[in-house]
Amino acid sequence: MKILIINAALALSLAGCANLYDNSGIPRITSQRQVEAYNATVSSEGEKLVCSRERSTTSNISRFTCMTVNQQESLAAQAREEIDFIRANQSN
């Protein structure tokens, strides 16, 4: 009986964790084939997806990470601004 209760609690906690991530109704893209299918439906170059397999610093398990071209350019610009800010303030 104790094992049954533990298993039920584990199942409920796992189900609860799965609901923490809101995907806003967008299906999770897990392969390059899905990326190509999505990109075929988008007309703007900036809205096309670029995906790669990345390993986080805390795990050896890689995951498929996607972002649009516009998002990549925005992140790159933000990183350049932060580096410029750091360099400008190092001389003080």
Q: With cut-offs at 50, 70 and 90, classify the pLDDT of residue 68.
A: very high
Domain-wise residue ranges, the chain:
24-90
How confident is the model over 13-67, as pLDDT tens digits? 555 544 444 455 556 888 889 999 999 998 899 999 999 888 888 888 888 889 9
For residue 34, what are its two tokens?
């899905």
Residue 91 main-chain phi, psi, to 5 deg = -75, -10
CA distance 45 to 24: 23
| 50 phi and psi angles, rounded to 5 deg | -125, 125
SS3 43: coil
